């Protein structure tokens, strides 16, 4: 015979045991849910990381193609048979020159880069040149014939084609000079 005290104790023990099993079940469920949530977050982070790696790869490829394109354009500019140079529209400082222009003027790159764009002209043409520089040139266009002065003093006339552009963050003008005749 069981006394009421023992029955209560057994019932309490069974109740505690049931609570313990319930707590263990809930802890296991919580742990499992937490593990699943953690795994989902890890998967989300792995996907985000993969997307970032793909974006970085696309960016690096774009940068490579941009450098390659820039090199091609520089080559086309430098090796063009037409004399070309770029000057700063604010200071008239020469920014770059191609090989044909160096040959036309009979100077080295260092000599060419040491002068201003106005020094390429005959002195009497400088006021006209300064007025022309003030006129925007957003599309490639002929700017007329200009008297140029070579390093040895020889005067030549050239048809000047120009377009304004941004060169290394500087408002600039690209000049393409087509010699039309030689004056002695």
Tell if the pTM clears 0.75, that is, is over it. Answer: no
User: Would you put residue 153 in left (φ > 0), alpha (ψ -120 to 50) or beta?
Assistant: left
Query: Which helix (H) or strand (E) segment is 85 a member of?
Result: strand 84-88
Which pLDDT score is estimated for 183?
47
Condensed to tens digits (0 to 9), the pLDDT of residues 69-114 reads 888 888 888 899 999 999 999 999 999 999 999 999 999 999 999 9
Reported confidence tier of residue 60, pLDDT bands at 50, 70, 90: very high
Please write the tens of the pLDDT for every residue from 112-154: 999 989 989 999 999 999 999 999 999 999 999 999 999 888 8
List b or e across 120-151, with b for residues whose CB sees 16 or more CB atoms inside 10 angstroms. bbeeebbeebeebbeeebeeeeebeebbbbee
Per domain, the residue ranges of the chain are 1-79, 80-183
The CATH class given to the 80-183 domain equals alpha beta
């Amino acid at each position: 015979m069981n006394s009421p005290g023992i029955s209560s104790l057994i019932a309490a023990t069974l109740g505690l045991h049931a609570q313990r099993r319930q707590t263990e079940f809930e802890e296991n469920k919580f742990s499992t849910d937490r593990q699943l949530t953690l795994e989902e977050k890890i998967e989300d982070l792995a996907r985000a990381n993969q997307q970032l790696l793909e974006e970085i790869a696309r960016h690096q490829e774009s940068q490579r193609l941009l450098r390659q394109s820039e090199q091609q354009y520089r080559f086309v500019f430098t090796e063009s048979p037409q004399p070309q140079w770029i000057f700063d529209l604010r200071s008239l400082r020469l920014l770059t020159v191609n090989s044909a222009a160096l040959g036309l003027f009979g100077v080295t790159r260092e000599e060419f880069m040491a002068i201003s764009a106005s020094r390429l002209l005959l002195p009497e043409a400088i006021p006209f040149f300064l007025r022309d520089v003030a006129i925007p040139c957003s599309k490639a266009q002929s700017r007329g014939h200009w008297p140029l002065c070579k390093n040895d003093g020889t005067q030549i006339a050239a048809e000047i084609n120009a377009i304004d552009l941004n060169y290394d963050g500087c408002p600039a003008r690209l000049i393409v000079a087509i010699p039309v005749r030689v004056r002695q």
